[in-house]
Amino acid sequence: MSTRTLAVVSAGLSNPSSTRLLADRLTAAAQAALTGRGITATVEVVELRKHARDLADNLLTGFPNESLRGAVDTVVGADGLIAVTPVFSASYSGLFKTFFDVLDKDSLTGKPVLLGATAGTARHSLVLEHAMRPLFSYLRATVAPTAVFAASEDWAGGDSGTPALTGRVRRAAEELADLVAGRPPAAPADPFADPTTSFEDLLKGL
């Protein structure tokens, strides 16, 4: 079996959160779908709430600190991305947007992405199409046709979710698996490709 890496970005603010719960469901389904295609998927999760101050510093200084750099490298170097946000004021959260604002504008070009969002009511479900999909289209990512929204009622059956949610998760995961399987594995990141990296930081990585 070949191997691919999935990066999972969760912008939930609480612990535990429904956002992370949906991200975990999507991840498990994507791993299963890739296994069915002869691919072993390793998973790296980025919890954005741990990087809130790092992101603010990045906006002010223009470069990420060591902790945020690791999260950025995880996302940029992955073969596929699962990105899930809570809905605030009918759109993605500011924390979610800020993370993708600090990425290089070309870093997600062609990368397979599965989108997910959570909110208290299904009234916010269109956030997937009017906010999230345009964002990743602008970044030139390859977004799976099915995006998954989960409202409070979708968890009525417990952490496993309702049958309807389970069906959406499975369909989206299959689509992401097709996209990931159709691309060659991502090349390892070149630590010397970024001329803004200081010699001190380069030496730390040796």
Q: In CATH, what number is assigned to the domain containing residue 36?
A: 3.40.50.360
Contact 115, 132 (CB under 8 A): yes
Q: Where are the alpha helices (DSSP H) in the chain?
A: 18-35, 52-61, 66-77, 94-102, 127, 133-138, 163-181, 199-204
Average pLDDT, the chain: 91
Mean pLDDT of 111-123: 94
CB atoms within 10 A of CB 67: 13
- Percentage with pLDDT > 90 across the chain: 77
Question: Rg of the chain's alpha carbons, rounded to an integer?
Answer: 17
Nearest-angstrom CA–CA distance, 151 and 128: 13
pLDDT digits (tens, 9 = 90+) for 27-45: 999 999 999 999 999 999 9
- The predicted structure's pLDDT at residue 186: 75
119 is in which domain, residue-wise?
2-204
Mean pLDDT of 11-34: 95
DSSP 70: H
pLDDT digits (tens, 9 = 90+) for 144-169: 999 999 999 998 766 667 889 999 99
Domain total of the chain: 1
Nearest-angstrom CA–CA distance, 172 and 60: 37
Q: Please state the pTM of the whole predicted model.
A: 0.88
Nearest-angstrom CA–CA distance, 8 and 83: 6
Higher pLDDT, 141 or 90: 141
- The predicted structure's pLDDT at residue 201: 62
